[in-house]
Structure 1
Amino acid sequence: MSDQVEQWIAILSITFPVAAFLWEFAVVGRKRLGYRVQMDTLAADAAGRPYADVLGDMQHDGHQLKDPSFVLLRIENAGSTKIVSDDYLADPADPYGIKVTFRNRRVAAVVLTDPSEEEVPDFFFEEVSEDAGTVRTVAKPGFRRNNNEVDRTGTVRLPKVTLPRGAEYKMLVVLERWRHDDSNGDFPDPVVSGISMQGRWYDKLMKFFRLKATRTESHVFASRPAWWVIWFLVAGVCVQACFTLFLRDDRRPPLDCVGGTLHLHGSTAFGPAVRAAAEDYLNRCEGADVSIPLPDDTFEGSTDGVTGLERAGENAGIRVGEGLSDHIAFTDGPASDGHPRLAPKPVAFSVFTLVVNRDAGVENLSLAQIREIFAGGVKNWTEVGGNDVPVHLINRDPGSGTRSTLVAKVLDGREPPQFTVTDCASLNPGRYGRCRVTSTDTMLNTAASRPGAIGYSEAGGIDDHKAADHLVKLKIDGREPTAEGVEDTNYPYWQTEFAYTYGDAPAGSIAAAFLNFLTQQSGRDILHEHGHGLCSETENSGECRPV
């Protein structure tokens, strides 16, 4: 769903600016007559100032102007192409092109000023020969002023001036208040418009494709419409970034979703990562008739996983040279000898860690100190620089891959001593003791609840465990229990995680599809999230050694 939303945001983020650009420059902006009221000032505002006496004495037709005012109007070609007579919004037979209306004011005088092109005055004036042989300059029919006493408006009509791109001219208009108007308020703004066309069905449509008089402004950076486009783009980028960073699922769906039921077994340490990958696989393959049962006892240990896989293959009557298609067992390290029908595949390397109750007061131990503790030679944490708390040694069952890795990688092949009590709850808080648990979860809960307890676990799952606040992940000779610690500093407590199948999983089977997903597709991201290093990515091939 989020991918579809993100696609629509991307489409709109492109379509809207492109449409705005085409409208602004190809449709409206191609032919645009701009105007700007550069001055609209009452003469009375300046008449009392030094050197401005004449402003109060202006007359017209023998009478003094009433509340005279001045308007300087600039007309400009604000489009991208030349404006010609046919572009004006007016009947072709009408000589007028633009009408300027002044409400509550009458027009006393109009003067053309500052034309940018020498030809502009020719649209306003013409020379007429008189009887006496003199030549007089008069206004052309398209240039007129009118005053309507009924609605108290003054108008100035301007001709259809041909304006090259960027050309302009200015009109200085002198106005006064109507004689019988006794109000003293400010005058309304002038209204500039094209002359409306009448009687043709396409008039309204033509307004969008022919010339319109539009107000132009001076901008430091961009016009208001441009700002709307800019903010729309900014909003689109921000929303798309939020989808990318927080909502979008970048993991690709499996290349193949094979139907059927898949049974998983094995390592309790590697189990959380495999469980998460299986749940993700089910979500991505929804509708493909895929089932992966994941009860709480799915992962009961490496040895039990191998035993269960072997039993399933034998019960299914799989012949030599064939493979079981619906079972996979995961082990911490290679399985023990005596399983000739099982086929291993290195998947990842898991990092394990020793965990200590915070009351012990230690964070870093040497290999020699750890071996002495697990040999039963250290009874109190003060002997290795910790607090005055008895040591409680918590071990896993002999079939645990986490325990066998500890023995092989950390304890130099020496098994820990037997338990002193069978139930960890029976440990005497004030005395040294040893006990044994059956799962990683029980190990962490026990170590967290017993002052002075030490145990071991897969490193990636501790931070999110409910008992994490009461536990410390021990450094070994200063080396961190992380995948980077394994590759960069030779942190010793790690193990290759193997996926075992009964014979080679048949091509096109659900077991083969899930292993491909786990090692080559989106499952790799989940293994990373759980702190595992990928065998396909490790720089040191010895960290994912073959069997």
Structure 2
Amino acid sequence: MVEGFPWESALAVLGLTVPVIAALWEFALVGRKRLGYRVQMDTTATDAAHSPHAGVLERMQRENTALRDPSFVLLRIQNSGWTLIDAGDYVARDDDPVGIRVTFPGRRVAGMVVTELSHDYLGPCFDGAAGLSCSDGMIELPKVPLNRGAHYKVLAALERDQDFTQDQPFPDPVIVAGVKGGVRGGKIKKTESHTFASKPVMVLIAFLVAVAAAQSFTTFTRDDAVAAPLDCAKGTLILSGSTAFEPVVRQAAKQYVKTCPDARIPLSDDSFKGSVAGLNSLAAAGKKTKIKEDAGLGDRLAFTDGPKSDGRPQLLPRPVALSLFTLVVNKDTGVQDLSLRQVRDLYAGKITNWRQVHGNDVPVRLVSRSPGSGTRTTLVRQVLDGKQPMGVTVEDCAALDGEEPGRCEVGDTATLLNTVASTPGALGHSEVGAAAAHDDLQQVRIDGYPATLEGADEGAYPYWQTEFAYTYGEPPADSLAAGFLRYLANEVGKDILRSHGHRPCSELEKPLLCRPS
């Protein structure tokens, strides 16, 4: 290769230029005005002699005389270009009503009929029209106006000419016609029915494949380093916060590191301990670093279910997504729907057995997240009308057995779901995506409404929250924290959010508020 020559750019320009030229040639020039035909059937009655019902074909007559070796041809005449073909576009004298002439070497025309009109309005063009006739060796068709894609078919019954040898195959029909302004003299062109693509298209595809292969070759063989995407940054990013939002953050971090090999995002089992714990960790890191008042940390982010509480003015929020939460129960409860009043009474300890809400005779066991959980805070604020659940009765959820109701608390979403699934009569709460992955649990509707974004938008479903990413101060634009936030807002990040049942804030009516409309 010539050193310094921009081969990749040249190949990219070539790969773009050729399809554009091909498209202009096909649609603007060659295909602008085109009259086409297709022989869809050409068969003799003797070809079907093996059929028990073919005899009537062989006995076809003309003026009480049996046809010699009768045969049938079905022609399709069509406008295969991109503009109208009018009656005045046919190449013929003005006083000649005939637009197309069809002959059948070696055969005589016994009869014909025009059939299968693409549009009913073509019918009058053939009803008693001048220019439509058939003689012994020729079919004449009138100058039919054809819109783009319009067509009609001609079925001809033929017999072998006396001078044509019987054991000799018949030549193809000869169609003579032309249109003014068409390419290659405007001559009528034989078209083909392709199951995949025509030869020119296949050649174009092969060319584009070759260009793509050449681009790949130059990419893998060049000596200079590949430039990183715009949002990539070097360094280490520490993530913490919501356990409900943890699956989204983990997947996004994994994809980001694949895209940006100079970035490190270490994630351990203790990285996510809850929304408040994440904010505490972020605030502590900021104070320890002692950065300037107008600066911010570029290596830390905390994710929370809902906004922070009052105080901590250094922590700045960025709305990321609208999240849905759901109530979940052990399947032995026999419950799939609860009213908002019943939910509040359950968490207040007023309902202690599922039979009180028309479920099974099983004690109610409440499995909740620990204080500081955004999922729990959202439950209290959005569903329980600001009232905290009944007090904890056991420190260890494994002690929720026997015939007594009770409540326990766990530290993360995964533990809560597993505990509800294994504890008879258990009721818990979770992010929808995580709950949906548990086949052993039953999601509970609230007032008949399931956990859907549409229900939240209509104000019918109450258990939802905005997911926030918090930074300590304003992170530098070229920092890893800023780059990862931009990554979550681009198409890849939004795809990850959607795959977990969240709605990206940018898709809502008011993205900055990131709330149901």
Return the TM-score normalized by structure 1. 0.56
Q: Which residue is 2:309 aligned to?
A: 336
Alignment check: 8 A CA contact 1:254 1:281 kept? no
Matching of residues 319-330 of structure 1 within 5 Å: 319-330=292-303
CA drift at 1:231: 3.6
CA drift at 1:327: 0.9
CA drift at 1:257: 2.1
Distance 1:217 1:271, change over 3 A: farther
Counterpart CA distance in 2 for 1:399 and 1:490 is: 27
Counterpart CA distance in 2 for 1:331 and 1:519 is: 17
Q: Is 1:261–2:236 an aligned residue pair?
A: yes
Q: Which residue is 1:506 aligned to?
A: 476
Q: Which residue is 2:493 aligned to?
A: 523
Distance 1:306 1:233, change over 3 A: farther
1:300 to 251, 262, 273: 273
What does the per-residue CA deviation read over 1:53-95, in whole Å, with 9 as the maximum and x for residues that have no partner?
A: xxxxxxxxxxxxxxxx99xxxxxxxxx99xxxxxxxxxxxxxx
Q: Which amino acid letter does the alignment assign opposite residue 497 of structure 1?
A: E
CA drift at 1:217: 7.2
Q: Secondary structure at the match of 1:393?
A: strand
Matching of residues 185-196 of structure 1 within 5 Å: none
Counterpart CA distance in 1 for 2:480 and 2:472 is: 13
Q: Which residue is 2:458 aligned to?
A: 488
Distance 1:525 1:187, change over 3 A: closer
CA drift at 1:187: 5.1
Does 388-397 or 483-492 show the bigger shift? 483-492
Q: Which amino acid letter does the alignment assign opposite residue 407 of structure 2?
A: R
Alignment check: 8 A CA contact 1:267 1:331 kept? yes
Alignment check: 8 A CA contact 1:364 1:474 kept? yes
Q: Which residue is 2:7 aligned to?
A: none
Q: Which residue is 1:227 aligned to?
A: 192
Counterpart CA distance in 2 for 1:540 and 1:477 is: 27
* Unaligned 5+ runs, structure 1: 30-35, 53-68, 71-79, 82-99, 101-112, 117-170, 177-185, 191-213, 241-252
Q: Which residue is 2:339 aligned to?
A: 366
Counterpart CA distance in 1 for 2:492 and 2:244 is: 20
Counterpart CA distance in 1 for 2:513 and 2:418 is: 30
Matching of residues 113-512 of structure 1 within 5 Å: 215-216=172-173, 226-227=191-192, 229=194, 231-232=196-197, 255-283=230-258, 285-287=259-261, 289-463=262-436, 465=437, 467=438, 469-512=439-482
Q: Secondary structure at the match of 1:387?
A: coil
CA drift at 1:11: 6.1
Which has more radius of gyration?
A: 1
* Unaligned 5+ runs, structure 2: 1-11, 37-41, 47-57, 70-89, 92-104, 106-135, 140-159, 176-187, 206-227
Alignment check: 8 A CA contact 1:302 1:330 kept? yes
Distance 1:187 1:481, change over 3 A: closer
Counterpart CA distance in 1 for 2:174 and 2:256 is: 60
Q: Which amino acid letter does the alignment assign opposite residue 245 of structure 2?
A: F
Q: Which amino acid letter does the alignment assign opposite residue 361 of structure 1?
A: G
Q: Which amino acid letter does the alignment assign opposite residue 479 of structure 2?
A: S
Distance 1:478 1:543, change over 3 A: farther
Counterpart CA distance in 2 for 1:38 and 1:415 is: 89
Q: Which amino acid letter does the alignment assign opposite residue 432 of structure 1?
A: P
Q: Secondary structure at the match of 2:506?
A: coil
Return the TM-score normalized by structure 2. 0.59
Q: Which amino acid letter does the alignment assign opposite residue 256 of structure 1?
A: D
Give the percent of matched residue pairs that are identical in Structure 1 and Structure 2: 45
Alignment check: 8 A CA contact 1:389 1:451 kept? yes
CA drift at 1:543: 6.0
CA drift at 1:359: 1.2
CA drift at 1:290: 2.2
Distance 1:429 1:517, change over 3 A: same
Alignment check: 8 A CA contact 2:505 2:512 kept? no
Q: Secondary structure at the match of 1:489?
A: coil
What does the per-residue CA deviation read over 1:432-459, in whole Å, with 9 as the maximum and x for residues that have no partner?
A: 1222111101111111111210000011
Alignment check: 8 A CA contact 2:314 2:472 kept? yes
Q: Which amino acid letter does the alignment assign opposite residue 387 of structure 1?
A: N
Distance 1:370 1:233, change over 3 A: farther
Does 331-340 or 449-458 show the bigger shift? 331-340
Q: How many residues align?
A: 360
Please tell me the root mean square deviation across aligned C-alpha atoms, in Å. Answer: 4.7
What does the per-residue CA deviation read over 1:323-351, in whole Å, with 9 as the maximum and x for residues that have no partner?
A: 11111101111223342321112222211
Q: Which amino acid letter does the alignment assign opposite residue 457 of structure 1?
A: S
Counterpart CA distance in 1 for 2:44 and 2:413 is: 82
CA drift at 1:286: 4.3
Counterpart CA distance in 2 for 1:217 and 1:383 is: 87
